Each structure stands twice: as structure tokens, then as C-alpha cells.
């Protein structure tokens, strides 16, 4: 049986996720052909140079023409505008999806723009690196990572099953979730940690008693990994916080409470509280390793993965 899921796939936006999807589709034979479009002419030129996509198009109308699957790989803040532009050009029966890390806002932006004769199945692959741009993708990015599907009400189950098969073909584990729950889960596992990482790196920048060269030279693993997270794409993360405001603020409120409790324990010399807290958090790390979502190798496994 052929592994092909879609005859023609269109990728809009050609950064890390889209480029990894392309190489993954090639590896798995999941698409007959893949067209790609990026707003920047420079990005399109790089894509042509490295063979990213079978056809690199210079317009949205060209890229979505006759596509069976259209993937929005643009920052969540502009997804509604892109959807409005492609809506009249979509083939009846096509599936439109996205890879944004916020779902309720994307559904509110994109859903109303699309015609009734296409399927809209929002998705979120929980995979990435701190690198961005068309050169940053690689076929193995989604292997044993999770992709969350958030089908909107009334979605054809066959179209959802097809999308599931597609992401499984890219190497991902697939689960389904409703949009509000997705946004809360991601606020805990991704959005709030990113904001905290940005803040810590910003604090180091503000502490003039610690020179820049000392911050760089003496970065132990903790701070170094904050800087890795804080190197992520600024446009994407700006849009994430503006579009997942409620869930992120809820989790940051809880974080602030926990932080105050730890401050109090340190001030009062409450070693038992600190030890118990760190024991509990250590168990979470072990659970992540046991679930195959990271490795216990030194350097957070990055050496082992080569990325």
C-alpha cells in the first residue's frame, strides 16, 4: 500500500516547521508533490537553492492552486489574513491546517474566513529547535514527538483520520484535544517557560555587576539552556503571548505564587520545604525521559541528536 496521503501539499511559510515537514514528506513518500510559498523573496531564493519544495511559488494564488492539503506555517498573528487571501482559491474538498502553538485564537481567526466546502483541521506539532528559517529543517524533527489535532465541530472524521495518518507518517505520535484545553496545556509546558527564560536572560543583561563576558564565559547549564530557549523567533513568540493571553496569565499567576513560597523558604532557612519541592520537580524530569520525550544524556541530549 502506498504511503502517500495527499496528492498535492502546499506549505505557506518556509521556516523550521515547514522545511522539516517537506523533508519528512520526502522521506516517507507522503505527498505526490509539494509547493511552497514565503512572503520574503530572499526566503524563496534560499528554498530554491537548497531544493526545499518541488515548486517554490511567488504568490499565494499559485501555491494553493489544486492543493489537497494547505498548511499555514506563518506566525499566529497573521493566519487570519492569509486565510482570507487564500479562501477563494481553495479547491473544494481540500483540507486546511496550521502548525501554530495557539489554537482557540487561530480557530477564531481562520475558521470564519474559509468556505464551507473545505475541511479545517488545526494542528500543533510539539517539536522545534531554537533555529528558524528555511535551512533549519530536517526530516527527523517530528520523530517520536507529539502532534495535537484540534478538529473544529462538524469536521468530517475521514478528513481527520487522513490528517492523523499524515502526521504519523512524519514520525509523530498524534492526539486530539479541544482548543481551550490545548491552550492551557501549552501555557504550562511551553509558553510560560519561554517567558520565564526570556526574563532570566533579560535579568542577566540588567545586572551590570556581572559583566557580559562573565555571563557568556561562566554560563552553567541552567543559564545556558535559558539562552537557548530565549533565542527563539521573536515574531512567533510575540504573537503567542498576545493570542494565548488568558491561559498564559493564569499560569504566570500560579508561577508567581510558587516563586513567593520558595523565596519565603529561602529567607526562613526552610530546608525541608526546598528539598521536598526539588524532589517533586525532579520526578517530573524523570517522567519526561521515561516517556521518550528527552534523553538523560549529558547536555540535554543535544549532542546525541546532533541538533
Task: Return the pLDDT at 304.
Answer: 44
The cell for 21 is 515537514
**CATH code of the domain occupying 181-269:** 1.10.3660.10
Sort 240 into a burial class: Cβ within 10 Å, 0-12 / 13-18 / 19+.
buried
Q: Where are the domains of the chain?
A: 6-177, 181-269
Residue 286 has a CB neighbour count (10 Å cut-off) of 10
Q: Give the single-character DSSP code of 90.
A: P
Task: Return the pLDDT at 89.
Answer: 97
Is 210 strand, coil or helix? Answer: coil
Task: Return the pLDDT at 112.
Answer: 97
Task: Return the pLDDT at 211.
Answer: 67
CA distance 60 to 80: 14
CATH class of the structural domain 6-177: alpha beta
Sign of the dihedral defined by the CA atoms of residues 111, 115, 117, 118, in that order: negative
C-beta separation of 40 from 235 below 8 A: no
C-beta separation of 173 from 146 below 8 A: yes
- The pTM of this model reads 0.88
Q: What is the pLDDT along the chain (307 residues), one digit of tens a residue?
A: 469 999 999 999 999 999 999 999 999 999 999 999 999 999 999 999 999 999 999 999 999 999 999 999 999 999 999 999 999 999 999 999 999 999 999 999 999 999 999 999 999 999 988 788 999 999 999 999 999 999 998 999 999 999 999 999 999 999 999 999 999 999 999 999 999 988 988 887 776 666 667 776 776 667 888 888 888 888 889 999 999 999 999 999 999 999 999 999 999 999 999 999 999 998 988 898 888 888 777 554 455 444 4
Sort 292 into a burial class: Cβ within 10 Å, 0-12 / 13-18 / 19+.
exposed
Amino acid at each position: 500500500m502506498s504511503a502517500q496521503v495527499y496528492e498535492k501539499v502546499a506549505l505557506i511559510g518556509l521556516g523550521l516547521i515547514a522545511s522539516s515537514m517537506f523533508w519528512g514528506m520526502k522521506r516517507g513518500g507522503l505527498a505526490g508533490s509539494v509547493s511552497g510559498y514565503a512572503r520574503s523573496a530572499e526566503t524563496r531564493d534560499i528554498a530554491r537553492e537548497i531544493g526545499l519544495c518541488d515548486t517554490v511559488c511567488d504568490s499565494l494564488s499559485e501555491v494553493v492552486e489544486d492543493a489537497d492539503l494547505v498548511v499555514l506555517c506563518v506566525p499566529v498573528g497573521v493566519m487570519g489574513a492569509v486565510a482570507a487571501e487564500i479562501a477563494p482559491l481553495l479547491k473544494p474538498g481540500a483540507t486546511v491546517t496550521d502548525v501554530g502553538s495557539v489554537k482557540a485564537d487561530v480557530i477564531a481567526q481562520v475558521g470564519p474566513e474559509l468556505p464551507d466546502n473545505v475541511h479545517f483541521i488545526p494542528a500543533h506539532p510539539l517539536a522545534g529547535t531554537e533555529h528558524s528559517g528555511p535551512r533549519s529543517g530536517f526530516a527527523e524533527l517530528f520523530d517520536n514527538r507529539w502532534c495535537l489535532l484540534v478538529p473544529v465541530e462538524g469536521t468530517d472524521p475521514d478528513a481527520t483520520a487522513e490528517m492523523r495518518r499524515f502526521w504519523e507518517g512524519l514520525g509523530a505520535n498524534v492526539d486530539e484535544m479541544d482548543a481551550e484545553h490545548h491552550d492551557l496545556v501549552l501555557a504550562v509546558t511551553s509558553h510560560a517557560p519561554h517567558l520565564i527564560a526570556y526574563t532570566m536572560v533579560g535579568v542577566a543583561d540588567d545586572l551590570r555587576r556581572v559583566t557580559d563576558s562573565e555571563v557568556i564565559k561562566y554560563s552553567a547549564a541552567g543559564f545556558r539552556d535559558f539562552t537557548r530557549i530565549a533565542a527563539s523567533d521573536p515574531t512567533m513568540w510575540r504573537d503567542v503571548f498576545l493570542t494565548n493571553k488568558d491561559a498564559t496569565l493564569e499560569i504566570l499567576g500560579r508561577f508567581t505564587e510558587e516563586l513567593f513560597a520558595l523565596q519565603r523558604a529561602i529567607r526562613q532557612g526552610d530546608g525541608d520545604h526546598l528539598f521536598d519541592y526539588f524532589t517533586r520537580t525532579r520526578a517530573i524530569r524523570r517522567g519526561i525521559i521515561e516517556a521518550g520525550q528527552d534523553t538523560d544524556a549529558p547536555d540535554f541530549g543535544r549532542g546525541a541528536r546532533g541538533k
